[in-house]
Chains A and B, each alone.
Chain A
């Protein structure tokens, strides 16, 4: 047996000896395998679970704003590019951004804002502003859920100073558990994204005298353009 294989065997044998039993047999491991397959939900707080969809969207916005996320509600998808451009102007930021090469973002008429210089790529260190879509948002704590794939590079969520997320209102769920259900539905074969980022506000640190500073390593500003805030939830 190789050194690595014997380390593995010895650790597992040590666990079994400590628990005063051998390897779990079929009868003992079947309910454990079932628990993994069924992933039952545990206690879920009423805070978000008890609300209707409009209530959840309001809760999401309130919780996000508590942690210095800014939110701009836009009723019509065609107004998204204007909302992004105006946010950048308001923050005195250049109209230059790197955007996820995600077809979902093609739904918005970026050409209406020719002054916005847009690169579709992963982020580089020099990029000041990024725009990404979201997978879901969790009302319970004002948390964004962003997933990686070839059209949604993770660096966009981390490197730029300003991160703008275009979130559809029908992507807002109550508790985390509903977001997991949506993810399992989107990836039925378990071919999970490499990275799932739950992001609650801009980067921060309290490491110097417990005084909170934003923008420790990740973005200093997290801005959400919330589209169709009055819309009902979709099946997706």
Chain B
């Protein structure tokens, strides 16, 4: 998909005015966080498991080359093939090439954000192969020709009426007068339509939640079972996975699986967790005849060894966006690409560049909730600040912002001047606003006062109060102010 992350501000404003989106997002905010909390409270070891999961992933990232090579050996030993792809284009070409070997007309797909990342559907379609999404949410948004708005619940921005409209428009072979207003009816209709697609597809493409070095297995986690039908019924199973999905052993995967469903939907365990290794064995009555793993880099190794390496621990559970006040207000489409919410704000600049995704770094209140619920303890706010630094260094931030920051830095580096200036401003604004106690408008502060009042300062600045308090409590305290300390 064509990214619109650069237009985050306009996207967000539009989303905030969308009353239907408000209702849909309310469904999410009332659901996932409470369910997660209940599941976490039920498992006393949850915090310790977070540490264990982080330790595993950190170990993997430090030895990524070793585990990828071990994984490849074991895939090959079980009769599969590994395709190493540097870029989205290489991955698309590889997948199309495999489809062409069986002259594939249709491929079924399990939900894969990496497939969204490389815009696989458009490419297959342009080359005469019809991709069919089989996850219910993905199927709905495919019919509506729109991108996912959430990494595990792609149609979370929609209401059932949207789904009904999309199904009536697409399934014209069915009775136009059929009842279709309830989720049960919609689910049954999708099930019936997609059953036929599963049976006739030549190739099934899934993502992977984990790749297991020890066994050469790929792992998918679903609730619907669509990924399992996708990979079991066609002649060929293609697994598309980014290379940081690797873990050493089945035990390591089990540890992280204890975190994944609880963090995502608040389930104890997802309905289907499936380990696949190689093609069907001799004598097997079902299963694919070929097994291909397309291993994608697409910018990951460039994050390794940098201050963004921690992001490669991400297991795509969606807890960060489910708890984010900004995501909850604007939804996923405003972020303009595949990965929304806090994890997207960190990952998207890494994959698309900070010039495209710089605005996402402002899509945060820095409340820290995302980091506190992240099962892999990824310091998301800290990394957003790192990206802001890079954006500033690359001179990409707006000039008014940059000169304002320079002006502030000029004063901040000169504590005496800073105190004098802020003291003066405090007294001046305090005097001017004494009557109403607040300002309805103020020169240069339109961005603030256009939507809310600015309270008038009351009396002295925080710094002078702080200094006075310290002087009475600890007469010998240093006079170094918090601001000059921060500037050092």
Interface residues of A (CB under 8 A from B): 4, 7-8, 10-12, 14-20, 23-24, 29, 32-33, 35-36, 39-43, 45-47, 63, 66-67, 101, 121-123, 125, 141-143, 148-150, 153-155, 157-159, 175-177, 180, 190, 192-211, 213, 215-219
Contacts and interface: CB of A to CB of B under 8 A. Distances in A.
A218 B250 contact: no
A99 B48 CA distance: 43
Contacts of A203: 223-225, 271-272
A117 B32 CA distance: 44
Contacts of B281: 148-150, 193-194
Nearest to B69: A12
B155 interface: yes
A208 B52 contact: no
Contact of A7 (B90, B198, B255): B90
Nearest to B61: A19
Contacts, number: 258
Given A19-B305, A125-B199, A217-B229, A204 B271 contact: yes
A7 B279 CA distance: 24
A195 B276 contact: yes
Given A197-B274, A205-B136, A218-B229, A177 B65 contact: no
11 contacts: A8-B84, A15-B65, A24-B65, A32-B248, A125-B195, A195-B274, A198-B269, A200-B268, A206-B153, A207-B154, A215-B188
A192 B277 contact: yes
Contacts of B287: 148, 153-154, 194-195
B43 A45 contact: yes
Nearest to A211: B183
Given A36-B248, A199-B272, A218-B224, A43 B48 contact: yes
A24 B191 contact: no
B295 to A, nearest CB: 8
Give the one of A180, A208, A219 with max B CB within 10 A. A208
Given A67-B267, A208-B158, 5 more contacts: A45-B44, A67-B268, A155-B233, A199-B271, A206-B265
Given A203-B224, A210-B156, A35 B248 contact: yes
Most interface-central of B24, B83, B225 (chain A CB within 10 A) = B225
A207 B143 CA distance: 14
Contact of A217 (B160, B194, B248): B194
A153 B223 contact: no
Interface of B: 24, 27-28, 31-32, 43-45, 48-49, 52, 56, 62-70, 78, 83-86, 90, 134-137, 140, 153-156, 158-160, 163, 183-184, 186-188, 190-191, 194-195, 198-199, 213-215, 217, 223-226, 228-229, 232-233, 243, 248-252, 254-255, 257-258, 265, 267-287, 295, 297, 301-302, 304-306
Contacts of B277: 192-194
Given A7-B85, A18-B301, A218 B137 contact: no
Contacts of B52: 42-43
A229 to B, nearest CB: 22
Contact of A198 (B195, B272, B283): B272
A209 B225 contact: no
Contacts of B283: 149-150
A213 B187 contact: yes
A45 B225 contact: no
Contacts of B154: 207
Given A158-B229, A218-B272, A15 B64 contact: yes
A210 to B, nearest CB: 5
Contacts of A101: 285
Given A45-B44, A125-B195, A180-B254, A192 B215 contact: yes
Contacts of B279: 194
A125 B198 CA distance: 10
A181 to B, nearest CB: 10
A153 B285 CA distance: 6
A216 B223 contact: yes
Contact of A43 (B140, B160, B255, B270): B255
Contacts of B251: 39-42, 177, 180
B228 A154 contact: yes
Contacts of B85: 7
A216 B274 contact: no
B153 A210 contact: yes
B229 A198 contact: no
A132 B118 CA distance: 39
Contact of A42 (B62, B233, B255): B255
Contacts of B194: 217
Given A122-B285, A192-B215, A215-B191, A46 B44 contact: yes
Given A206-B153, A209-B183, A216-B187, A36 B136 contact: no
Contacts of B229: 158-159, 217-218
Given A150-B281, A150-B284, A190-B215, A11 B243 contact: yes
A42 B56 contact: yes
Contacts of A40: 249, 251
Given A209-B183, A215-B187, A122 B286 contact: yes
A210 B27 contact: yes
Contact of A213 (B156, B183, B249, B302): B183
A218 B225 contact: yes
Contacts of A66: 268
A68 B268 CA distance: 13
A210 B28 contact: yes
A46 B304 contact: no
Contact of B214 (A24, A39, A125, A193): A39
B150 to A, nearest CB: 10
A7 B84 contact: yes
Given A12-B65, A195-B274, A217-B225, A150 B191 contact: no
Contacts of A201: 271
B44 A15 contact: no
